[in-house]
Amino acid sequence: MELALDIGTWVLLLAGSLLLLITGFGLIRLPDLYTRIHAGGMADTLATFLIFVGLSLQSGFSLVTVKLLLVIAFVFFTGPTASYALAQASFVAGLKPKLDGLSESEDKDETD
Amino acid sequence: MIYAITAIAILVSIALALVRAILGPTSYDRILSANAIGTKTVLLIGVMGFLSGRPDFLDLALVYSLVNFIGTLAVLKYFKFGTLRGTLSKPADNA
Amino acid sequence: MLRTVSLFLVLMAVWLLLSGHYTPLITGFGIASCLLSALIAYRMDVIDHESHPLQLGPRIFLYWGWLFIEIFKANLDVAKCILFPSKNLRPSMFMVTASQKSDLGKVIYANSITLTPGTVTVDLDGDQVMVHALTEISAQGVMSGDMDRRVTKVMEATS
């Protein structure tokens, strides 16, 4: 049982670390602001979830677990709001996104 | 052991975000990096708490995640309106 | 009034879970502060169906479960896109229509879009949601309207 929990922690933390590294890499590599927001959003969601769930496997049933879950909840609620505020502010400021023209609103109608 | 590996990965990721903050052509890129660094700091505090065997650090992580959010919004609002006073509604149309 | 009581209970639960000190004096302070917060919120008239959405009920948890699976899939998609940008990177921007009637429903929908990596809500005007998508897969995920229907279902059962 102890071993299974340890292995679970290893797997989850390693996966989370890998996702975080990809996120940092994406922040450098992606071409413009709007695409970089997606990379930032990845750290906000799955990476946080994986790392904190991995940690909570080690703490057992205690108040520490509750706090870990609460941090996940806070990050999940505040993350998208901050992303939206950022995207909206830069859009209002007139920053144009680089598009590949695959499905711009003109040449491909959305399905309502 | 695994905590140390995770902490190093988080630090490397923070460093990468910092590079973007230095390079960032627009100020919004820098705000994005600041926000990302904040989220990663929350993770780092949690992992460091377990690394040093003191999970009490999680209280700090909890507060930091909220302060980070408020800070990002405050900076964005200041950028958009040039002041922190008043409501967040759009000045032109508020339908 | 029901919402005020429920707010007090939620505050109390959070206080008990975070505190960890259960001596009578400290717990008394906790109860007093929670009561005061609930009272101030009641006096300020900020407890309504938006700030304390009691009416959503257990359905929202089912929706969160579904949303989490979507987040998982979207994360893998974005990770693939970052590692192999030349093959997958197709940024696009388009409008979708939010079919929810209430503001709360629209906010839940827009925030769900943003929470899923690969798609970010850029603007919300009336019932038109402007979305920026990173890859073709994520763009189609929003355009298919699956998430929109699910949010509408969660909201509809309430009113």
- The predicted pLDDT at position A35 comes to 86
- Which chains have 3 or more CB–CB distances shorter than 8 Å to chain A? B, C
pLDDT (average), residues B9-20: 92
The answer to the question of residue C50 being in a domain is no
- The predicted pLDDT at position A112 comes to 38
pTM over the 0.95 mark: no
Asked if residue A30 lies in contact with residue C82, where contact means CB atoms within 8 angstroms, the answer is yes
The answer to the question of residue C94 being in a domain is yes
Chain B residue with the nearest C-alpha to that of C18: B59
Q: Indicate the average pLDDT of chain A.
A: 82
Answer yes or no: do B72 and A86 touch at CB < 8 A: yes
Residue C69 shares a structural domain with residue C120: yes
pLDDT (average), residues B50-63: 86
pLDDT band at C158 (very low <50, low <70, confident <90, very high): low
Answer yes or no: do B28 and A90 touch at CB < 8 A: yes
Is the pLDDT reported for residue C42 higher than 70?
yes
Number of domains chain C contains: 2
Asked if residue C116 lies in contact with residue C69, where contact means CB atoms within 8 angstroms, the answer is no
- Using DSSP's 3-state secondary structure scheme, residue A107 falls into coil
Quote the percentage of chain C above a pLDDT of 90. Answer: 11
Chain B residue with the nearest C-alpha to that of C126: B95
CB atoms within 10 A of CB A80: 23
**Distance of alpha carbon B49 from its chain centroid, rounded?**
19
Give the pLDDT confidence of C99-132 residue by residue, as tens digits.
Answer: 888 888 888 888 888 888 888 888 888 888 888 8
CB atoms within 10 A of CB B1: 7
A8 in contact with B, Cβ within 8 Å: no
- The predicted pLDDT at position B18 comes to 92
Q: Where are the domains of chain A?
A: 2-91
CB atoms within 10 A of CB C41: 18
Residue C120: what are its φ and ψ, rounded to 5°?
-130, 135
- The predicted pLDDT at position B89 comes to 54
Residue C14 shares a structural domain with residue C82: no
Beta bridge partners of C133: C92, C119
pLDDT (average), residues A67-78: 88
Q: Looking only at Cα atoms, what is the longest distance across chain B?
A: 55
- Using DSSP's 3-state secondary structure scheme, residue C90 falls into strand
- The predicted pLDDT at position A42 comes to 82
Is the pLDDT reported for residue B90 higher than 60?
no
| CB proximity list for B10: less than 8 A, separation 6 or greater | A17, A20, B40, B43, B44, B47
**Interface predicted TM-score of the whole assembly (ipTM), two decimals:** 0.80
Residue C25 shares a structural domain with residue C91: no
Answer yes or no: do C18 and B95 touch at CB < 8 A: no
C127: domain range? 56-156
Residue A45: what are its φ and ψ, rounded to 5°?
-105, -85
Q: What's the rounded Cα separation, in Å, for the pair A70 and C53?
A: 19
Facing A36 at nearest CB: one of B2, B32, B58: B32
Is the pLDDT reported for residue B15 higher than 90?
yes
